[in-house]
Amino acid sequence: MLIGKACRILGRVRCCVVKPLASLSLSSNMAKSKFEYVRNFETDDTCLRNCYIVVRLDGRNFHRFAEQHKFTKPNDNRALGLMSRSARSVMEELEDIVIAYGQSDEFSFVFKRSSTWFKRRASKLMTHVASQFSSSYVFYWKEFFLDQPILYPPSFDGRVILYPSNRNLRDYLSWRQADCHINNLYNTVFWTLVQRGGMTTAQAEDRLKGTLAADKNEILFSEFDINYNNESDLHRKGTTLIWEKRDETVIKRMKSPDEEEKHVIRSRRRVQAHHCDIIGEQFWEEHPDILEDDNS
């Protein structure tokens, strides 16, 4: 890093000049309070109360990132695992996140309606999530890609969306999972046509133009003997992270004179991953604690 010439000269001149040390500092102190009015330009972006706060992250230029890091097609399990690991890191830092859902290079985090994290300030919430996710992505890279190095720091952009009712929130999550399904079905057929059917990507694209989901299932089934429904849940359903209580047996050494050991059963909250349908009722019936009552 170079330091501009003018500045260095300026610095030198200053040191030579014999001036009362106090005056500079005093004026600097006064200067600060003189400038402090600029704080009033900050605006309040508090999220409306009693709404679910969703922060969604999307990878930036991840097509290029996937190319350069040779992600396998149509899905790279290492990359998906790293996304989930980073999302877990976010949840562990921000405990008011009650559910997170991810697929491909995106992840959505849902703060509970009554959350008061960062006084519900949208900018704080989304930048913290984006930051924690991104630093975790690089930090945990080697756990998933082992000896393959990460070539440059990736980035994700984020947004905040508010949902006033349980229905709206569930529809949001359903929308993302339906999107996962549609994209994964397309990608599965596309890459099967290319990798096993010997087509060029242009030919595969052409073949799929205008086809409905039914047609795509049919291609897989009749031409490649693949039943799409037998494909991996991870790829078809994406990843849902929630908090779950686990009973753990902990050995506690007592501070009493005889140093007796005690087995204590402790309940601990842990982030658990699911790869199941979250559009239907079953998931929500099995996890009634995720949503808060609309009229509470």
As measured in angstroms, the least distance from the Cβ of 120 to a copy of itself is: 10
Can you say which residues are annotated as belonging to the binding site?
58-63, 104-105
Please check whether residue 204 is in contact with residue 190, taking contact to mean a CB–CB distance below 8 angstroms.
Answer: yes
Can you say which residues are annotated as belonging to the binding site for Mg(2+)?
58-59, 105
3-state secondary structure of 24: helix
Q: Which of residues 71-100 bind a copy of itself (CB under 8 A)?
A: 84, 89, 93
What binding mask, one character per residue, do residues 221-250 give for a copy of itself by CB under 8 A, x or -?
x-----xxxx--x---x-------------
Q: Which of 70, 73, 124, 266 binds a copy of itself (CB under 8 A)?
A: 124
Nearest to residue 154, comparing CAs of 132, 128, 135, 126? Answer: 135
**Residue 159 or 266 having the CB closest to a copy of itself:** 159
Can you say which residues are annotated as belonging to the binding site for GTP?
58-63, 104-105
As measured in angstroms, the least distance from the Cβ of 232 to a copy of itself is: 10
For residue 149, give both structure tokens.
């190095």
Spatial distance between the Cα atoms of 27 and 73, rounded to a whole number of angstroms: 62
Q: Which of residues 266-295 bind a copy of itself (CB under 8 A)?
A: 272-277, 279, 282-283, 286, 294-295
| Residue 161 is a binding residue for a copy of itself (CB under 8 A) | yes
| Residue 202 is a binding residue for a copy of itself (CB under 8 A) | no
As measured in angstroms, the least distance from the Cβ of 254 to a copy of itself is: 29
Please check whether residue 93 is in contact with residue 126, taking contact to mean a CB–CB distance below 8 angstroms.
Answer: no
Spatial distance between the Cα atoms of 192 and 74, rounded to a whole number of angstroms: 9
As measured in angstroms, the least distance from the Cβ of 257 to a copy of itself is: 34
As measured in angstroms, the least distance from the Cβ of 176 to a copy of itself is: 9
**Residue 42 or 247 having the CB closest to a copy of itself:** 42
**Residue 245 or 252 having the CB closest to a copy of itself:** 245
Contact range with a copy of itself by CB under 8 A, out of 69-77, 175-183, 199-207, 254-262: 175-183
| Residue 146 is a binding residue for a copy of itself (CB under 8 A) | no
Spatial distance between the Cα atoms of 135 and 139, rounded to a whole number of angstroms: 6
Place of tokens 């693949």: 226
**Residue 20 or 257 having the CB closest to a copy of itself:** 20
Spatial distance between the Cα atoms of 242 and 234, rounded to a whole number of angstroms: 15
Whole-number CA gyration radius for the chain: 27
Q: Which of 83, 91, 126, 204 binds a copy of itself (CB under 8 A)?
A: 126
Q: Where are the beta strands (DSSP E) in 83-138?
A: 97-103, 106-111
As measured in angstroms, the least distance from the Cβ of 262 to a copy of itself is: 27
Inter-axis angle of helices 77-93 and 122-145, nearest 10: 140
Spatial distance between the Cα atoms of 86 and 138, rounded to a whole number of angstroms: 9
Q: Which of residues 20-59 bind a copy of itself (CB under 8 A)?
A: 20-26, 28-29, 31-32, 34-46, 48-51, 57
Q: Residue 244 belongs to what H/E stretch?
A: strand 239-253
Nearest to residue 55, comparing CAs of 16, 94, 14, 18? Answer: 94
